[in-house]
């Protein structure tokens, strides 16, 4: 973004803050039955028009931004929403958006009036989410029908977009924060079984500079994985020997069914999240 665009974006932010201040002042006048002036409402209406025009050019999100800007900023706002409300879902965000958009104004079909009302939210918070969630109040403002029709067309496009989000729930699935996969592998034997079953050990062996076998391979593997597992190399070598020994080694960690069950459970979590192709050792 060049300097001009940066300056224009700052203009949108300034306009938005000025509008919020005007709305807050007017809101308190109404709330406490103080004298109101027609000039205040005209100033609010003009500020809304200026902010709308500027936001179309700079793709700045606010309550009545155009539908293209809304779609461009949707994923960013969804990400911040889910990061703030950790147990929330995409569907909840979409439904809240739909409710607020529909409640922002009502268009009277074939209106004979020159002006119709919108219900505009305002916030005095410096740290507000890029959504309609945090507001200090709202007021009803009459705006001219030309701008109202633009808002109405934008409202319809936004609702259609939200309907698509509901119809395609996987559209923004990567936006959701990743749930940490807890792989409950306690013993070094379980961890080595895990490396073997996921194909990691085979991948390492295939990339060895020499085609070695038996004890030499086990020693080389131990040198590589012992630091990662925070275990002694001698311990790793012994377990590898037990696992790869022809016949049934007494201390083979595979002999304990619990070890294999825990590893299978961990691998199932990975497959569920990333698909079967994620596991190197699974066809």
Q: What is the DSSP letter of 131?
A: S
Least confident of 45-54, 69-78, 174-183, 191-200: 174-183
Task: Report the Cα 272 to chain-centroid distance in Å.
Answer: 20
Report d(CA 62, CA 16) in Å as an integer. Answer: 8
CA 127, 131, 137, 143 dihedral sign is positive
Do 197 and 224 belong to one domain?
yes
How confident is the model over 121-157, as pLDDT tens digits? 777 666 554 455 567 677 788 788 788 888 888 989 9
User: How many CB atoms are located within 10 Å of the residue 112 CB?
Assistant: 6
Does residue 182 form part of some domain?
Answer: no
Tokens of 218: 């086990």
Report d(CA 35, CA 113) in Å as an integer. Answer: 26
What is the rounded average pLDDT for all residues in the chain?
A: 79
Do 197 and 170 belong to one domain?
no
Give me the domain span that covers residue 254: 188-278
What does the pLDDT read at residue 159?
Answer: 93
Do 171 and 192 belong to one domain?
no
- pTM for this prediction: 0.56
Note the residue count of the chain: 283
Do 211 and 246 belong to one domain?
yes
Q: Please, which pLDDT band fits residue 179 given cuts at 50, 70 and 90?
A: low
Do 64 and 132 belong to one domain?
yes
How confident is the model over 91-132, as pLDDT tens digits? 888 888 888 888 886 554 444 445 667 788 777 666 554 455
**pLDDT of 172 strictly over 90:** no
Higher pLDDT, 169 or 151: 151
Percentage of residues of the chain with pLDDT beyond 90: 15
The answer to whether 190 and 259 are in contact (CB under 8 A) is yes
Q: Among the three residues 175, 196, 227, which one is the final residue of a domain in this structure? A: 175
How confident is the model over 10-67, as pLDDT tens digits? 789 899 989 988 888 888 888 787 776 778 888 998 999 999 999 999 999 998 999 9
Using only C-alpha atoms, what is the Rg of the chain? 30
Does residue 151 form part of some domain?
Answer: yes
Do 154 and 194 belong to one domain?
no
The answer to whether 90 and 172 are in contact (CB under 8 A) is yes
Q: Please, which pLDDT band fits residue 178 given cuts at 50, 70 and 90?
A: low
First to last CA, the chain: 46
Tokens of 180: 């940490």
Does residue 89 form part of some domain?
Answer: yes
Higher pLDDT, 168 or 77: 77
What does the pLDDT read at residue 68?
Answer: 94
């Amino acid at each position: 973004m060049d300097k001009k665009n940066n300056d224009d974006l700052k203009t949108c932010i300034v306009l938005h803050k000025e509008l919020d201040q005007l709305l807050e002042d007017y809101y308190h006048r109404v709330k406490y039955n103080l004298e109101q002036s027609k000039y205040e409402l005209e100033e609010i209406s003009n500020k809304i028009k200026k902010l709308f025009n500027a936001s179309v050019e700079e793709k700045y999100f606010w309550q009545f931004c155009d539908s293209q800007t809304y779609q461009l900023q949707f994923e960013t706002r969804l990400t911040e929403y889910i990061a703030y409300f950790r147990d929330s879902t995409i569907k909840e965000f979409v439904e809240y958006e739909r409710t607020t958009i529909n409640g922002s104004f009502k268009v009277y079909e074939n209106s004979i009036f020159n002006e119709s009302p919108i219900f505009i939210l305002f916030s005095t918070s410096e740290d507000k989410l890029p959504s309609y969630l945090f507001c200090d109040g709202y007021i009803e403002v009459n705006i001219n029908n030309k701008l109202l029709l633009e808002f109405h067309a934008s409202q319809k496009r936004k609702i259609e977009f939200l309907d698509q989000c509901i119809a395609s729930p996987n559209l923004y699935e990567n936006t959701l924060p990743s749930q940490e996969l807890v792989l409950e592998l306690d013993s070094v034997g379980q961890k080595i079984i895990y490396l073997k079953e996921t194909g990691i050990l085979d991948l390492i062996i295939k990339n060895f500079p020499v085609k070695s076998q038996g004890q030499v391979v086990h020693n080389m593997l131990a040198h590589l994985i012992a630091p990662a597992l925070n275990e002694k190399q001698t311990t790793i070598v012994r377990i590898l020997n037990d696992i790869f020994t022809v016949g049934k080694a007494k201390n083979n960690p595979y002999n304990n069914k619990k070890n294999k069950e825990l590893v299978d459970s961990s691998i199932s979590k990975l497959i569920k999240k990333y698909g079967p192709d994620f596991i190197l050792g699974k066809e």
